[in-house]
Structure 1
Amino acid sequence: MRKLLAAATAGLTVLTVAAPQPAAARGRPDTYVVSHDPGVLPEGIAVAPDGTMYVTSVATGAVYRGHVRQRTLRPFLPGGADGRRSAAGVHLDRRGRLFVAGWDTGTLFVHAPDGTLLARRTAPGAALNDLVVTADAVHVTDSATGTIWRAGLHGEEVGELVPWLTPAGFPAAPGFLNGIVATADGRIALVADQGTGVPGTERLWRVDLRTGTVGEVAVAGGQLGADGLLLTGDRLHGVVNFPDGHGGWSFAVNLAILDADRRTARVVRQSRPAGLAQSPTTIARDGGRLLWVNSQLNAPAPRPPFTVTEVPGLR
């Protein structure tokens, strides 16, 4: 779920580069149609190792499914089913289970690969935005209260959601928690905070998932107060927004390089920008390319088709 930042970051000191089409992506569409229905407003995306793609609708709670080699997605989980009236972040675990953050429903939904509801866990008063799944837990960002919720994973069992890290545990109270990722060993999480809308309040937090200790990542060369995050080794991608210098807003993906301990980040590249009519939110990787969701959440008049496209000029 997107929050527009008021930070004056139009003059980002990063390099915008044009990336060639990766060989692995040849023969695949560069645009995917999520839905031709009005008012869908897609938000989250996950791509499985076999190329299956899942996209959520924050407006209806529907989850759409397709494949990276096919241009059109189909409804997989209908909006409103199981009380899922809204859906934001979506991720898969190693068992192929689908974890869906239910935004202002305050609910985490867990589905089997065939769509069967396996678990529904509630976080009262929360706006569950994004999530990350590790070997022993799922952690979910709450944009309404600045809390990170946690549910333990024990085999096939999904524990109850508990307020694992509250605003008091941060060096400064979060403004709008959003994207979250974890290192491959599941020991460190990076959490994007889009701030309060006041310039300079966006943050990137480093959270020790063993102790709950939080520190701020020192970010140079640009901002990482992102919506969607994607972490691959020491490379962190984040979907950011910033004033376009003409009274509007631009959206882009920033690429940052992290130090070994994940305490510093240096933004080194930025994709070509998109505008309000597109309003991209989250990202996923498909082989050698990046895909982002064109939510149209901030568009003056959202209209179908609602799509997923390749991130331009970056991989």
Structure 2
Amino acid sequence: MKKLLASTTAGLAVLTVAVPTPALAVGSRPHTYVVSREPGVLPEGIAVDRDGTLYVSSVGTGAVYRGHVRNRELRPFLPSGADGRTRAAGLDVDRKGRLFVAGWDTGALFVHAPDGELLARRTGPGAALNDVALTADAVYLTDSATGTVWRATLNGPEVGNLVRWLTAADFPVAPGFLNGIVVTDGGRIALVADQGSGQPGTERLWRVDLVERTATAVEVVDGQMGADGLLLEGDRLYGVVNFPDGAGGWAFAVNLAMLDADRRTARVVRQSRPADLSQSPTTVVRDAGRLLWVNSQLNAPTPAPPFTVTQVPGLR
């Protein structure tokens, strides 16, 4: 879920830093995917499994759409309102093909089998569950309403209850709006984006020790990573950020930051070409040698179908 965030990085230059590109063929994949042609969908989260199945959530209705990276059109997979899922934000897929859906202000985590069967519904009281990250034995979710990181244990087919793993009081500064989350270092460390209050300098990237249950601020250099969706590939961290466009509006882009080995410093080295408010991208995912982002239209003056996913311009 996007929060507009003022920042001083609107004029960030594209730097000529050598960054490895994944050696994967894009093949005959469309540049644009149509999630839905129905009004009010407002797509938000995205996930791609190992077989190329593409999932996109709707924060407007709670529906989840499914397709394949080689096909332009997605189809309804989980209908709006089913299982109490009237909102759907962040998504993730595990190695068993189970789909984990953050239910935003429903306060619920939904876990579905590949055929759509509801396997588990777990609730965090008062939560606005925004984004999801999986480890071998747990699922972690950010809560934008209360500044909490929630955790549920995964034990084979069993999904445990949601537990407050870190609360706002466990951060050096109370988070303003927790959003994207990724996990690294064998499931020990999470990087969590905080979009702050919307004022310059309040956005942060947190390094969360999931074992010690502590949080410290990552030193972010040459840009900001107070992002909506995050994507981590080795020491490369991608984040969908927003900033004033210099003309009284807002622009959106993907920033690429290089992390140090201990995940305590992040240097922004590249930025995609921007999108405008009518597009309002939320999060990013890797498909072969390209990046895809979700055009939510959440901040568009008049959101209108078709709702789409497109390739991130100018960055791989």
Normalising to structure 2: TM-score of the pair? 0.97
Q: What is the CA RMSD across the aligned residues, in angstroms?
A: 1.6
Could you say which residue in structure 1 is the equivalent of 2:231? Answer: 230
Aligned mates of 2:82, 2:302 — CA distance in 1: 27
Partner of 1:113: 114
- 2:187 is paired with a residue of what secondary structure? coil
2:48 corresponds in structure 1 to 47
Q: Which runs of 5+ in 1 are unaligned?
A: none
Match of 1:256?
257
Partner of 2:267: 266
The letter for the 2-side match of 1:91 is D
What amino acid maps onto 1:58 in structure 2? V
Give 1:197 shift: 1.2
User: Paired residue for 2:9?
Assistant: 9
Tell whether 2:240 aligns with 1:239. Answer: yes
State yes or no: 1:208 paired with 2:203.
no
- Counterpart CA distance in 2 for 1:27 and 1:199 is 41
Task: Please state if 1:296 is matched with 2:280.
Answer: no
Aligned to 1:81: 82
8 Å contact from structure 1 (residues 13, 221) kept in 2: no
Residues 276 and 299 in structure 1, CA contact (< 8 A), matched pair in contact too: yes
Q: Which runs of 4+ in 1 moved over 2 A?
A: 6-9, 11-17
Identity percentage of aligned residues: 77
- Pairwise mapping of residues 119-198 of structure 1 onto structure 2 (< 5 A)? 119-183=120-184, 185-198=186-199
**What is the distance in 2 between the residues matched to 1:291 and 1:111?**
23
Contact 1:240 1:254 (8 Å CA) reproduced: yes
Paired residue type of 1:248 = G
Once residues 73 and 196 of structure 1 are traced to their aligned partners in structure 2, the CA distance between those partners, rounded to angstroms, is: 35
Residue pairs, 1:98-109, within 5 angstroms: 98-109=99-110
Give the conservation status (yes or no) of the 8 Å contact 2:42–2:60: yes
Equivalent residues, number: 314
The aligned counterpart of 2:306 is 305
- Which one-letter code corresponds to 2:46 in the other structure? I
In structure 2, the partner of 1:62 is: 63
In 2, Cα distance between equivalents of 1:134 and 1:124: 23
Is the CA contact (8 Å cut-off) linking 1:184 and 1:233 kept in structure 2? no
How far 1:60 sits from its partner (Å)? Answer: 0.3
Identify if the C-alpha distance between structure 1 residues 265 and 48 changes in structure 2 by more than 3 Å, giving closer, same or farther.
same
Partner Cα separation in structure 2 for residue 219 and residue 243 of structure 1 = 19
Per-residue Cα deviation, 1:75-94 (whole angstroms, up to 9, x for no partner)? 00001000000000000111
TM-score w.r.t. structure 1 length?
0.97
1:279 and 1:298 in contact (8 A); partners too: yes
SS in structure 1 of the partner of residue 106 of structure 2: coil
User: Secondary structure in 2 aligned to 1:268?
Assistant: strand
Instruction: Give distance in 2, aligned partners of 1:222 and 1:248.
Output: 19
